[in-house]
Structure formats: structure tokens, C-alpha cells
Amino acid sequence: MNPNRLLALIRKEFKHLFRDVRFFMVLLFFPVFLLVIFGYAVNFDVKNIVIGVYDQDKSEMSRKLLNSLSSGSYFQFKKLLNSDHEIKKALDEKDVQCVVVIPYNFSREFYAKREAKVQFLIDGVDDNTATITQNYAVAFIQNFESNLVDEIIKLKGIKQYKPLGVESLFWFNNDLKSSRFLIPGLIAMILVLIAVVSVSLSLVREKETGTLEQIRVSPITTLELLIGKTIPFVFVALFNASVILIAGYFLFDVSVKGSFLLLFVAVILFLFAGTSLGILVSVIADSQQVAFMIATLISLIPSLILSGFIFPIDGMPFIIQIFTNVTPAKFFINILRAVILRGVGLEAIWQDMLYLLIFSAVVLAIASVNFKRKLSEA
């Protein structure tokens, strides 16, 4: 491999990047756009659940429950309902997300030392929000019940004894912000876009313009061609990953808790895997349209659905869990979340890094075999 030929090819590719201003601006600013969209718009945090209340009891006890319900940050009281018809109308028109029904015998049952029930009618169209709302409702009732019992015991002068206590501590994401969970995956999505789609389009463009034939008859080797075409995009991808990390720190308080060197090595390994996939696409496709479709089909879509970026892999059927191993983004996202959020070392992620190496070698071997076959047919 001749260094002078390689540097000349790299300079040529950089000139192509800078000459196509629109494409270059997309590569630079699209990551920031995605960061804002995923960080603010794609948010799984559920707060300020709009509720309506049908208070049939209208007692001091029911008013105390409603005051306690609306004083927190999870429920937002909107309207008081007076009949079953109004309940149905409010839920049908999505005026409220949940209706709290307090039965007419609520306080009487409580003071009679019988079970006093409260009903939460929840809009179940969005199953994720409905499940979280149900959990909030159960936690609220348990807390309200505990406070009432403590108050009664204190009034009677009884010394309370609690043999067991529960203390929950959330590690790595103590305030449970979904943006901290999404940003590492967003880095993987951006690098897939650059490493696979951009590299494949760049190589196929040489086919369409006829310059690939000129390069073949030149002294440039196949290895020099592939390295020279991919290095500029590797630099752009590293720049984009840095921008996302910096923006994530200032906008969403996402800081790297682990080793920056380990993170850099992981990014390089993933870019190696992604560019290998891009090279394979460029060998198969003969036009940029076909290359874009194939690259999207085998990289972006699996990275979005099967990598654990948004949808937890543990909740998928067993067959689908096996199928998720075809995308390197799954293992890269595992590494990113481990290094950025948990601050782990190499001992926790070496298997994921080994997979990226194996994936790259296998894909490059397939691309090489197909490339030689096409040359022999030509």
C-alpha cells in the first residue's frame, strides 16, 4: 500500500465532500437535529396526567384524597364530573386521561374499618402511558393509606412499629430521564447513517460517473481505494459523535462516566463494522437509488427496531431476540450505555467489542468474494 496514493485519494474524497455543500451540511447538522427531536419529542417520561374526578361521597375524607392527589407532579386535576355519562364523554373525547371514581360509601366504609375502594378509569389506547398511570395510581393509594394509618395511630397515642422498611435507589439514572437512555442509541443511529449509507453512496457514485473504471486501471489497489473512500466519512462520524456527546451534556446532562479511550475504541470498531456493511452494499448495488434502499433496509431499520435503541430486546419473542444479533448496532448500543451511563471497564464489554470485530471480518470477506466475482464476470 503506497502512502502517497492513499493520501491523494483521501484528499480527493474530502474535496468531493466539501464540493457537495448540501450533502456536507446534512452530515454535520442532521445529528444535532436528531438529538433535539429524540431528546425532547421522543420522551417516555409520564407526568401531569390529566384526571377527572367523580366524587359520589363528597365527604371530608374524599376531599382530603383529592387534595393529596392533585398536589403532586404526576396528576393534574382538570374537571369535576357528576355522572357516568360525563365520565364516558370525557374519556371518549380525550378530555382526560384518567377518571377517579370515589364511591358514595367511601368514608363510611373507611371508618367502619372495612375496605374503602377507589376506582381509576384509565384510557388504555396508549398501553405504555396506561401502565405507568396505573402504577402511579397504585403507589398513590398505598402512600395515602399509609399516611392515614400513621395519622390515626398518632392521634390514639400508639407507638408504631414497622419491622420492615423499603428504600429504593436508582443507579446510573437517578431521576429516570428517558433522554439519558436514548442519547447513546442516537449516537449509534447517526454513525450507521454515515458509515453505511454515506459510504455505500460514495462508492456507487464512482460506478455511475464512470470514474471507478479509471481508478481500476490506475496503480491504486482495491485496499487503497476502500480505505481512501472511507477515512473521510470516519472523520465526519467521529466529529458527529463528539457533537452529540457535547450537546447531550449541556442540553440533557448526559456525561461520560467511563473511559474516553474505551469509548473511542468502541466507536472505531463500530465504524469499521458500518463501513464494511457500506462496502458490501456498494458491491451489490449499481445505482445510488438501489444502494440507498438496500443500506436503509439492512442497517437503519434493524438499528432502529432490533438494536434495543427504543424497544427493549428482553421483551421481544425468543426468535426475534436471536434475529437481533444480525445488527452490530445492538452490541454498540450496549457498549455506549455501559461506558457512558454506568462507567464500566473493558471486562464488562469485551464480548460486544469482539462481536463487532467478527462481524466486520465476515462482511468484508463476503464483499471481497462478490467484488472478485463481479470483476471476473466483467
Based on the domain organization, do 214 and 345 belong to the same domain?
yes
User: 145 and 221 share a domain?
Assistant: no
Residue type, 97: Q
- 75 with 58, same domain? yes
Q: Considering only CA atoms, which of 65, 227, 37, 210 is closest in space to residue 137? A: 65
- Identify which has the larger pLDDT, 49 or 378: 49
Number of domains in the chain: 2
pLDDT, one tens digit per residue, over 314-337 is 888 889 888 888 889 999 999 999
Residue 6 Cα distances to 129, 228, 269, angstroms: 54, 6, 21
Burial pattern 176-199, b for ≥16 Cβ within 10 A else e, equals ebbbbbbbbbbbbbbbbbbbbbbb
**Percent of the chain at pLDDT above 90?**
15
Q: 63 in a domain, yes or no?
A: yes
Q: Model pTM?
A: 0.77
What domain range is 197 assigned to?
3-42+179-377
Q: End of a domain among 86, 120, 155? A: 155
Mean pLDDT (whole number) for 292-312: 85
Q: Is residue 135 located within the same domain as residue 249?
A: no
Query: Which CATH number fits the domain that encloses residue 100?
Result: 3.40.1710.10
Q: Is residue 256 situated within a structural domain?
A: yes
Of 372, 215, 362, 196, the C-alpha closest to 281 is 196
Q: Give me 160's grid cell.
A: 408504631
**Whether residue 97 is found in the same domain as residue 184:** no
What does the pLDDT read at residue 179? 75
Angle, to 10 degrees, between the axis of helix 260-284 and the axis of helix 328-336?
170
What integer is the mean pLDDT of 167-173?
A: 76
Residues 221 and 364 in one domain: yes
In a domain, residue 302? The reply is yes
Residue 3 has pLDDT above 70, yes or no: yes
Question: Do residues 192 and 327 share a domain?
Answer: yes
Residues 317 and 302 in one domain: yes
Does 324 fall in a domain? Answer: yes
Distance between CA atoms of residues 292 and 281, nearest Å: 9
Q: For helices 60-70 and 127-155, what crossing angle results, to 10°? A: 130
Query: Where among 155, 171, 187 does a domain terminate?
Result: 155
Task: Report yes or no on 166 lying in a domain.
Answer: no
Residues 213 and 132 in one domain: no
Give CA–CA dist 224/298, Å, rounded.
26
Q: Which of 121, 155, 189 lies at the terminal end of a domain, its last residue?
A: 155
Q: Are residues 151 and 270 in the same domain?
A: no
User: Each residue of 225-238: pLDDT tens digit?
Assistant: 777 778 888 888 88
Left (φ > 0), alpha (ψ -120 to 50) or beta: where does 176 sit?
left
- Residue 200 is predicted with a pLDDT of 85
Residue 172 belongs to some domain of the structure? no
Say whether both 126 and 215 belong to one domain. Answer: no
Q: Please indicate, yes or no, if residue 163 is contained in any of the structural domains.
A: no
Q: How far apart are CA 213 and CA 229, in angstroms?
A: 15
Structure confidence by residue, pLDDT tens digits, 250-265: 888 888 898 999 999 9
Mean pLDDT for the chain overall: 83
What pLDDT score does 265 carry? 92
287 and 316 assigned to the same domain? yes
Is 160 a domain residue? no
pLDDT at 303: 85
